[in-house]
Structure 1
Amino acid sequence: MFRKILSCQRTFSTSGISYQSLLNARIENDKFVVLENSQEKLKFPGIWLRDNCQCGSCFDKNTQSRKIDWENFPKDVKIDSIESNSNNLNIKWSDDHKSSFDYDWLKKRDFSKTSQNTYLSKYYRPKYKSWNKEGFEKIRSSYFDYNDIIHNDEALKDWLESLAVYGVTFIKNNPKDKNVARKLIDRIGFIRQTTYGEEYIVKARPDATNQAYLSNKLQMHSDLPYYEYTPGVNLLHYLVQTKTNGGSNLLVDGFYVADLMRREHPEHYKLLTETVVDWNDIASENGVPFHNIYRAPVICLDMEGNCRRVNFSTPQRDTHFNVDVNIVPDWYDALRKFIEIVYKEAVHFKNNEGDVLCFNNIRLLHGRTGYDDTDTNVRYVIGAFIDWDIIYSKLRVLKNAKYN
């Protein structure tokens, strides 16, 4: 089969300095297209190029989505010939289809590890930084201003990026307004509704169906572990703070605890990552009954073995434990070690009246010391959730992450 292969002279620009570079295009092993010069080599699978053809019949530029019907995709399609000019790589396929690719577009999609890592670190999700007791005070002192977040996109971006990296942020100078949490979430996207409503009020009440609505000590926990799609971020606005010594916050980085267990207590860590636990919530809110169940380990890992979620709430751990009976005693030993580290590493602080505490609900565990609740001494906190998908989307938009 005849294949036409041409090279081209292109002008590249780096830091404002232009230079000439001879770019050669060739077919390799009938399966790849290679573009190279003295400085770099880009290699693209032919099937990927055909799948990502940018012509009008294959790709819809308005919706930025592929139109190719893979049910009827031509079988064993091959590269017939390639041709390059000053701006594009042109390909003729064995089924007579033609594709044209802009070199800058190809460069952004280079398959090299360096290029892929650069793209993912910049546009996928900020890489988190775990912290312990010693590192918390620096995070707490780097607070954000409500008015800056509401009126300035750069401040909004900085806040969301810090929340993604450290898992916790503090917002000061909030108005005495019951809608503060909602207004902050509206700046990002939209609120996440749960069985407890859109916004929820954390205050002591005699008819409480959840332990958060008591003035007792609140054990360390993550919210709603009985949801498969657990809300990612919790915003708590301390509209009224108790004047007593109680009502203080406890907070710990669950990813730090998990990593410490992995290094120092590997057998316990293995049990907590592999043993599926039943989490449940059976109650009613505003007269509406619900029965939530989700099954997942205390420490959930992603495909690369990194911690992606921590599930922990003693009140919400079901009495049904659907595992091999023989591993239960060892699992309790592992859980005891986990709880020991959680409380050892937990930071204690008390938010001022008006403050907003934001934290990653699938990473951090939080709790509260007990307090006296009277007619003249109340604690009134307004909470709301938002999902990480919405936050990451907004963050990419703020970073101008349209990656065409």
Structure 2
Amino acid sequence: MIAPAFGALTRVARSYVSHLQKVVFRHLSASAEEGKYVLVQRHKSCDNAPMRFPSVWLRDNCYCEQCFHKSSKSRRIDWDHFDTEVVALDVQVDSVAEQVVIKWSDQHTSTYDLKWLREREFSDERRQQYLNGFYRPKPKHWAGQQFKEITETFKFQDVMHTDDALQQWLEALAVRGVVIIEDAPLENTVVRQLADRVGFIRRTTYGEEFIVQAKPGAKNYAYLSDPLPLHTDLPYYEYKPSVNILHCVVQSKSVGGSNLLVDGFHIADRLRDEHPADYRILTETPVDWNDIGSEDGRSFHNIWRAPVICLDSDGNYTRINHSIPQRDSHFSVPLRAVIPWYQAYAKFVRLARRDGFAFKTKPGDVLTFNNIRLLHGRTGYDDSEQNVRYIVGAYLDWDIIYSKLRVLKSAQAESLNGGSALQQ
């Protein structure tokens, strides 16, 4: 009596598995569209619109060992003999493994995971998710009166010892352009500790760490106690340092010594909306920025030509250049362009000055801000042996910051989902 019952149970199980396989099979399909595109559709997802991929892109991104070097995560496909007219001859799906298998006209066979495909589909929504999320967080511009509500603060020890705080600091810095880190020890090594936590310090002609304080015979305008007008640091570098780290060790007890900050992207927005002709001039006219001097026995003469407002091919801001002391007397533009540029620049400067927000950091505060976006300055202060202001500074580059941010996001996704985030 036991054997027949067991046989019946086996038949039921096999029938159920067969039914389950048919159901699973129907949830994923793929097909070639004239060979030039491959359509992939997941029928049981909330968004069941088909994903459309160019065949040439799929073939170029084959992840087999012949086409891709796994350990270095690098394409090794032979482009000396790559056929850009390649077509998909046969398209199959493995619904259980959630994979698409394609046989190509060059006799190669490739396998693609559905998750990998979904992360790279060409829909507007998915592209924007990647560009504004994983690639680089989208900046949000702000007016000076919004400074207090948009500026986040973090504790130094949290940033140094927890990845969550580190990620939140870097994300806030990318989106708003300014963050204050509080309760740092009053030591000259703080800026290096923060830089090392992210990656490494950016060295300039002024060294790695630098001290901002009034100095006799100063060779840099920042090393005076006079008012420091709004500016961006080092516009004379083609690849200028991206983020300032300014650690307040001793603050002046005089009335002055306050920081001034302005979102240069917001000022560019206003100029574009209120004075479009002047905006165009400041985006198109190259300016000669320079710095001549010596530091630690090394002489330098830096020059870079770039507009005040720099744009990428999509019209997005990539960099603001502004420093009255660092504008060269050489102005290498046609004569007719000089006077209109001065008139446009004056509007930009006045808009920025009226929008500036003043605040005073206290000992232990570390002001971090985006140097390719924000203008910063300082009110004048009285300097004496009894009343000094001592700031330790350093720079980080956005390439290093974005890299760290992606590593943190990938680790977070892996922890939450049991799998890695977007990968090569």
Give the TM-score, by structure 2 length: 0.88
Superposed displacement of residue 100, structure 1: 1.3
The CA distance in 2 between the partners of 1:21 and 1:174, in whole Å, is 58
Q: Which residue pairs with 1:155 in the alignment?
A: 165
Choose 1 or 2 for highest CA Rg.
Answer: 2
Q: Structure 1 regions of 5+ residues with no counterpart? A: 1-8, 12-17
Please point out which of 189, 214, 220 is paired with 1:204: 214
Q: Structure 2 regions of 5+ residues with no counterpart? A: 1-18, 414-420
Q: Which residue pairs with 1:136 in the alignment?
A: 147
The CA distance in 2 between the partners of 1:153 and 1:100, in whole Å, is 35
Superposed displacement of residue 21, structure 1: 4.4
The CA distance in 1 between the partners of 2:50 and 2:199, in whole Å, is 41
SS in 1 for 2:27: strand
Q: Is the 8 A contact 1:10 1:23 kept in 2?
A: no
Q: Percent identity?
A: 53
1:29 aligns with 2:39: no
Per-residue Cα deviation, 1:129-151 (whole angstroms, up to 9, x for no partner): 111122111234x3111011111
The CA distance in 2 between the partners of 1:94 and 1:288, in whole Å, is 61
- Amino acid in structure 2 at the alignment position of 1:133: G
Per-residue Cα deviation, 1:215-234 (whole angstroms, up to 9, x for no partner): 11111100000001111100
Q: Which residue pairs with 1:403 in the alignment?
A: 422
Superposed displacement of residue 19, structure 1: 7.8
Q: Is the 8 A contact 1:10 1:21 kept in 2?
A: no
Please point out which of 87, 90, 98 is paired with 2:109: 98
Please point out which of 177, 190, 193 is paired with 1:183: 193
Please point out which of 110, 115, 122 is paired with 1:111: 122
The CA distance in 2 between the partners of 1:35 and 1:398, in whole Å, is 31
Which piece of structure 1 moves more, 305-314 or 85-94?
Answer: 85-94
SS in 2 for 1:143: strand
Please point out which of 73, 84, 87 is paired with 1:78: 87
Q: Is the 8 A contact 1:252 1:347 kept in 2?
A: yes
Which piece of structure 1 moves more, 127-136 or 19-28?
Answer: 19-28
Per-residue Cα deviation, 1:12-59 (whole angstroms, up to 9, x for no partner): xxxxxx987433322112211112355220111111111011110100
Which piece of structure 1 moves more, 73-82 or 42-51?
Answer: 73-82
1:122 aligns with 2:133: yes
Number of residue pairs the alignment of both structures matches: 389
Q: Which residue pairs with 1:373 in the alignment?
A: 383
The CA distance in 1 between the partners of 2:25 and 2:251, in whole Å, is 66
Q: Which residue pairs with 1:264 in the alignment?
A: 274
The structure whose residues are more often strand, as a share, is 1
Superposed displacement of residue 72, structure 1: 2.4
Q: Is the 8 A contact 1:181 1:384 kept in 2?
A: yes
The structure whose residues are more often helix, as a share, is 2
What is the Cα-based RMSD across aligned positions, in Å?
1.8
Give the TM-score, by structure 1 length: 0.93
The CA distance in 2 between the partners of 1:231 and 1:10, in whole Å, is 58
Cα 1:273–1:22, aligned 2, differ >3 Å: closer, same or farther? Answer: same
Which piece of structure 1 moves more, 332-341 or 107-116?
Answer: 107-116
- Amino acid in structure 2 at the alignment position of 1:380: Y
SS in 2 for 1:290: strand
The CA distance in 1 between the partners of 2:176 and 2:320, in whole Å, is 15
Cα 1:280–1:92, aligned 2, differ >3 Å: closer, same or farther? Answer: same
Q: Is the 8 A contact 1:132 1:256 kept in 2?
A: yes
Q: Which residue pairs with 2:77 in the alignment?
A: 68
For 1:2-401, list aligned pairs within 5 A: 21-36=26-41, 38=43, 39-74=48-83, 76-86=85-95, 87=97, 88-140=99-151, 142-400=152-410
The CA distance in 2 between the partners of 1:129 and 1:388, in whole Å, is 17
Q: Is the 8 A contact 1:202 1:383 kept in 2?
A: yes
Cα 1:29–1:10, aligned 2, differ >3 Å: closer, same or farther? Answer: farther
